[in-house]
Amino acid sequence: MVCLGNICRSPLAEGILREKLRLNKLNVSVDSAGTSGLHAGENPDSRMCETAKSFGLNIDSLKSRKFTVQDFVNFDLIYAMDSSNYNNILALAKTTSDKAKVHLILNELYPNQNMAVPDPYYGGEQGFIDVYNLLDEATDKIIEKLKANG
């Protein structure tokens, strides 16, 4: 799960998906990173943590890190939150198989629409709630696919 700062959208996506993997007994590892290293080492934004808590999820202890080329080796699927993150990740891809791993997460929910999970950082509380709801629905689709693929 990849966004810009790895303190709002992608740590929430990581937390939601990890909990659903656990509930569905799927042995899949999940992590998140940011295309900028601007917040590396920081916990998620407190506003995102509070929204997560209001939905019963605790993401307080996650830590921001920068996306690296090693992530193409370590992961089979790379979900970008918006097209800017998507393009920045693709720019680091060396092979067609690296490139094939990269997807816009909301295309799971709205195929081929190339919609963004809106960056909530400079907005109000509703933006964080919208991010939660979008990622909750998108991760349901990811879980469905993982189950279908055994």
Give 34's strand partners. 3, 66
Residue 42 or 140: which CB sits closer to ligand 4NP? 42
Of the candidate spans 6-14, 53-61, 87-95, 104-112, the one that interacts with ligand 4NP by CB under 6 A turns out to be 6-14
The count of chain residues that interact with ligand 4NP, using the rule CB under 6 A, is 11
Q: Which helix (H) or strand (E) is 10 found in, with range?
A: helix 9-23
> Can you tell me whether residue 36 is helix, strand or coil?
coil
Per this entry, what is the length of the chain?
150
Residue 48 CB, nearest approach to ligand 4NP (Å):
8
Asked if residue 89 binds ligand 4NP (CB under 6 A), the reply is: no
Applying CB under 6 A, among 22, 24, 38, 145 the residue interacting with ligand 4NP is 38
Is 18 annotated in the active site?
no
Of positions 32, 71, 72, 119, contacts ligand 4NP by CB under 6 A:
119
List b or e across 127-147, with b for residues whose CB sees 16 or more CB atoms inside 10 angstroms. Answer: bbeebbebbbebbebbbeebe
Is position 3 annotated as part of the catalytic site? yes
Q: Are 36 and 5 in contact (CB under 8 A)?
A: yes
The residues of the shown chain that bind ligand 4NP, judged by CB under 6 A, are: 3-9, 34, 38, 119, 121
